[in-house]
Amino acid sequence: MKQLAVYILLVFFCLTSCANKENTSVSSPDGSIRVQAGIENGKVYYTVDKKDKAILNKSFLGFVLKDGELGKDVTITDVKHSSFSEKWDQPWGEEITVDNTYNEMTVDVQENGGLKRKFSVVFRIFNDGIGFRYVFPEQENLKDFVIMDELTEFALAGDHKAWSIPTSTLYFENLYKPSPVSSLDTVCTPLTMETKDGLYLSIHEANLTDYAGLNLTPENGTTTLKAYLTPWSTGEKVFAKAPSVTPWRTMIIADKAADLLLSRLMLNLNEPSKIKDTSWIRPGRYIGIWWGMHMEDYSWAQGPKHGATTENTMRYIDFAAKHNFSGVLVEGWNFGWDGDWTKEGDKFSFTKAYPDFDLKKITEYAASKNVKLIGHHETGGATQNYENQLDSAFALYQKYGVSAVKTGYVSPLLDHKERHSSQYGVRHFRKVIEAAAKYHIMIDNHEPAMPTGLQRTWPNLMTQEGFRGQEYDAWSRDGGNPPEHTTILPFTRGLAGPMDFTPGTFNFTNKVFPATHVQTTLAKQLALFVVLFSPLQMASDMIENYENNSAFDFVTSCPTSWSKTIVPEAKIGEYLTIVRKDRDSENWFVGGITNANSRDLSLPLNFLDKGAKYKATIFKDGEGADYKSNPYPVEIQEMEVTAETVLNAKLATSGGVAIRLIKL
């Protein structure tokens, strides 16, 4: 990732160990957030407060290793302080420039007896929250070791309202439900909370590298959350070797819900890009031979309904070229889909196409239309089979100009034994990302480990699943995603990174599961292209359902990478409005959505350039729109506006509004 030329680096070190040990607190650059560290009963702890109000009470740290506990009888040997500030640019994202300013405190500790093993805790304090991680230095008595449990605590100062999904959720695909912290089960992160004082907190992790994914569990019905790492099938959590570091444990601390969405704390806690030339990494909007499989018009496997045929793919390419889509995703093109591939994923070939799919002809045709074929690698969870073919599979795609691949891992366990967010899974996913980068291929990872900001380091990791997406509106036996779902996702899973939700379903009739359908209005489907960020954004429906629909004009014009993001209003589970500026023009786009309750939106356009005029095209719920009985009406209105204009719109039940603002 390109770094700005100017860095401001201020480092302050105390000169004596005695003075260091007395200075065990650090504050955010604006002074509002403070972290204090200390020792109690031989264990290291930390506390967090904001504006003198407790956020975390004494929260203890440490590990259970295979050969005993690390951190139960320790002394602080040194404390170091420093400060850092930089601005860095993203090759794609919700804005171009990210401010990375923090104060840091490193607390060195050592066991008082026994092996006298050492570790450090590094705290980084930003204006919008904190991050900390453990560092294991090189030492004689801690070389190869096994972590059986991480004892990190978050002793919350109140029984906050929390939105969560249980750790037992397959692929993280569940509905986030609110409940008091004290009544939580073991849950996934991000865990987002609202305090009685009106603050918003979200606990997650950053830079998950060669480690197990973080989960949280309340201690005996209290508000103290303890780390629970996803284990290996054999019970161990992490196989480690010093010197090494853990992922960052993070907490966003925001004054309002909207500020959660603007935090870049997690990105800042990842390393700068390892890809020097990112010119080949290009966001885009695409369509796919996909929804037709869910509607059973097509099949993934060979047969009379096979969707991934040369003829059908070329038809989709023609549509993409006509409507300015950058790519076409094709699932089911390769051998291995016959039979129960969720149990026999090792039968997948990633280089051998079905006889009715001519990869060379298709990619040449796509290139002539300025469209890219988007590749697909469903593994059925057979990671060893996939790793054995990684180089040949990516080399084949590179040969034919395929620069983006959707990967999938539809199986409860990887290789029939390990969980997706275990250290085993984390290692595999990283191997795929790095291998793809060698071949200049972008990755859209489905059924992943929970994202942790690695797109800063590997910006070819464009987007991921790891949540309940629009596909549930095709086949979920509970009827589909409820109206409030997309008013919660940005504040929970969305804080972990881009979401390949695949909005844009225009036909709500489901002939396969008639009781299941998209539980929004059509206008809300349009708004989701702005609200749910993904640099690779798929319009989900079959192309037949887009023809001759004037609302489709918003989809074809909406960018997928932005220079600026604003959140004028937000209430978790109820409504959300997001304003984004196109990265490649002076134009703005707005998405506003609501839950099952209709509401009136009033949007001041004070973010526009003063003195300039814009053409506003407003796609809003039409007369009589209702997500249950009449989801289709969309009213399209055009007007000239300025920064002084206030736009008003009536949002229907589970409705929305999408606005395009073109600078004149």
> Which of 332, 287, 292, 326 is CA-nearest to residue 538?
287
Q: Name, in order, each residue with C-beta under 8 angstroms of 627's C-beta and a sequence gap of 6 or more.
A: 483, 519, 520, 521, 524, 596, 652, 653, 654, 655
Q: How large is the angle between the packed helices 423-438 and 383-399, nearest 10 degrees?
A: 10
Cβ atoms within 10 A of the Cβ of 646, count? 10
Among candidate residues 331, 447, 471, 484, the one labeled active-site is 471
Give the burial class of 610: count Cβ atoms within 10 A of its Cβ; 0-12 exposed, 13-18 middle, 19 or more buried: exposed
* Token reading at 326: 């950058």
Between CA 3 and CA 272 the distance in angstroms is: 8
Q: What would the DSSP string read from start to end of 22-75?
A: H--EEE-TTS-EEEEEEEETTEEEEEEEETTEEEEEEEE--EEETTEEESSSEE
Joined tokens for residue 249: 């444990």
Q: How many CB atoms lie within 10 A of CB 83?
A: 16
CB 80 within 8 A of CB 13: yes
The Cα–Cα gap between 371 and 365 comes to 9
Contact 122, 246 (CB under 8 A): no
The amino acid present at 399, given as its one-letter code, is K
Taking the C-alpha atoms of 239, 244, 246 and 247 in order, what is their torsion angle to the nearest 10 degrees?
-110
471 carries an active-site annotation: yes
Query: What is the DSSP track for 270-310?
Result: SPPPS-S--TT---EEEEEETHHHHTTSSBSSSSTTBS--H
Q: Enter the tokens of residue 652.
A: 């229907």
Q: Which residues contact 220 (CB under 8 A, 6 or more apart)?
A: none
Handedness of CA 379, 214, 62, 249 (dihedral sign): positive
SS3 content of the chain, % helix, strand, coil (to 5): 20, 35, 45
Q: What is the rounded CA–CA span in Å between residue 134 and residue 247?
A: 8
Q: Which residues contact 517 (CB under 8 A, 6 or more apart)?
A: 473, 479, 480, 508, 509, 510
Pairwise CA distance, residues 55 & 194, whole Å: 12
| Local structure of 117: helix, strand or coil | coil
Chain centroid to CA 544: how far? 30
**How many CB atoms are located within 10 Å of the residue 15 CB?**
7
Residues in the chain: 664
What CA–CA distance (Å, rounded) separates 436 from 454?
Answer: 14
| Distance in angstroms between the alpha carbons of the first and the last residue of the chain | 33
Catalytic residues: 471
